[in-house]
Structure 1
Amino acid sequence: MRTLLYAIGPMLFDSLGIIVFAVLLAVGAGIVTATVAGTVVAVAVVGYELARGHKVAALQWISLASVLLAAAATLFTGDPRFVMAKPTIVYLIVGTVMLRKGWLNRYIQPEQLALVGDVMDRFGFIWAAMMFASAGLNLVVAVFFTASWPLFIGIFPLASKFGLFAVHIAVVHFIGQARLRRGAGGQLEPLAAE
């Protein structure tokens, strides 16, 4: 439970702009309103981190860039199809960033990194795969099921992320506990041995 609470705060904070955008779309606020609100929140998150002198995480920059791109496209073109395709581009960018080893280390307590760092790296690639799958699914829904897209974008991204997050935390916790019981603190066995 401690690991879950430690990780959930930064994850929600990093994605807050996108979460606000998606939730507002899901409740029918409209694309312009959702985009403006998401942009304000994403700018506030990055501004808050900069004001505190903290390094801005990659997902925070991506959240800000994605809502700014949606805001510009929506306000300049008025074409909702661009906004519908935009998550595909964002998911591809996020998935590519997630292919970098160690990006998940921010979401785990530093003292646990030596114990389950290899598991976190593997989950980093699983997260990337989910982003690539989400990119494809978003494009299919936007092109072939356009009327259902607002419902899809309001539910699927958050549900899939929270679902994978729950599995991720449970698996990391289980493996970490198993390694502690075996006394594997100094010499970790490879994940395949789990």
Structure 2
Amino acid sequence: MRTLLYALGPMLFDSLGIIVFAILLATGAGIVPAVIAGTVVAVAVVGYELARGHQVAALQWISLASVLFTAAATLLTGDPRFVMAKPTVVYLIVGMVMLRKGWLSRYIPPAQMALVGDVMDRFGMIWSALMFASAGLNLIVALFFTQWWPMFIGIFPLASKFGLFAVHIAVVHFVGQARLRRMESGSSAAVAAE
């Protein structure tokens, strides 16, 4: 449970601009208010990190860039189809960033990295695959099922990420506990052999 809480905070904080955008859009607030609110929140997140002297995480920059890009395109063109296709581009970029080994390190206590770092790297690839799948699915819904897109974007991205997040944390916890038990039993056996 402690690992879940440790990872959940940064994950939500990193994606806060996109989350606000998706929630407002799904609740019928309209594209322009959703974009403006998402932009304000994404700018505030990055500003907060910079004011504290912390390094801004890649997902925070991506959240800010995607919301700003959407804001500019929507306000300049007034074309909602552009907004509908934008998540596809964002998911592709995020998926490529997630291919980088070790990007999940900030989401787990440093003491556990030696124990489950390899599992975290494998899940980095799974997260990347989810982003690429989301990109394709978003494009299909935006182009062929346009009327369903607001519901899709309000539900699927968050539900799929929280679902994978729950599986990810459960697997990392299970593997970590199993490895700890093996290490302890190996230490006990070594002591008994002496």
Tell me how far 1:22 sits from its aligned partner.
0.2
What's the TM-score once normalised by structure 1's chain length? 0.94
Q: What is the match of residue 191 of structure 2?
A: none
Q: What is the match of residue 180 of structure 1?
A: 180
What's the C-alpha RMSD, in Å, of the aligned pairs? 1.0
1:76 aligns with 2:76: yes
Structure 2: distance between partners of 1:110 and 1:83: 38
Structure 2: distance between partners of 1:139 and 1:172: 32
1:9-53 deviations in Å (ceiling 9; x for gaps) = 000000000000000001000000000000000000000000000
Moved segments of 4+, more than 3 Å: none
1:52 aligns with 2:75: no
Corresponding pairs, count: 185
Give 5+ residue unaligned stretches, structure 1. 187-194
Give 5+ residue unaligned stretches, structure 2. 187-194
Tell me how far 1:126 sits from its aligned partner.
0.2
Structure 2: distance between partners of 1:73 and 1:28: 20
Letter in 2 for 1:181: R
Q: What is the match of residue 65 of structure 1?
A: 65
Tell me how far 1:68 sits from its aligned partner.
0.3
- Specify which structure has the higher proportion of helix: 2
1:9 aligns with 2:25: no
1:137 aligns with 2:137: yes
Structure 2: distance between partners of 1:76 and 1:150: 20
What's the TM-score once normalised by structure 2's chain length? 0.94
Structure 1: distance between partners of 2:62 and 2:86: 12
Q: What is the match of residue 190 of structure 1?
A: none
Tell me how far 1:179 sits from its aligned partner.
0.1
Percent of residue pairs identical? 85
Q: What is the match of residue 160 of structure 1?
A: 160
For residue 56 of structure 1, give the secondary structure of its aligned residue in structure 2. coil
Tell me how far 1:171 sits from its aligned partner.
0.2
Which structure has the bigger radius of gyration? Answer: 2
Tell me how far 1:175 sits from its aligned partner.
0.1
Q: What is the match of residue 123 of structure 1?
A: 123
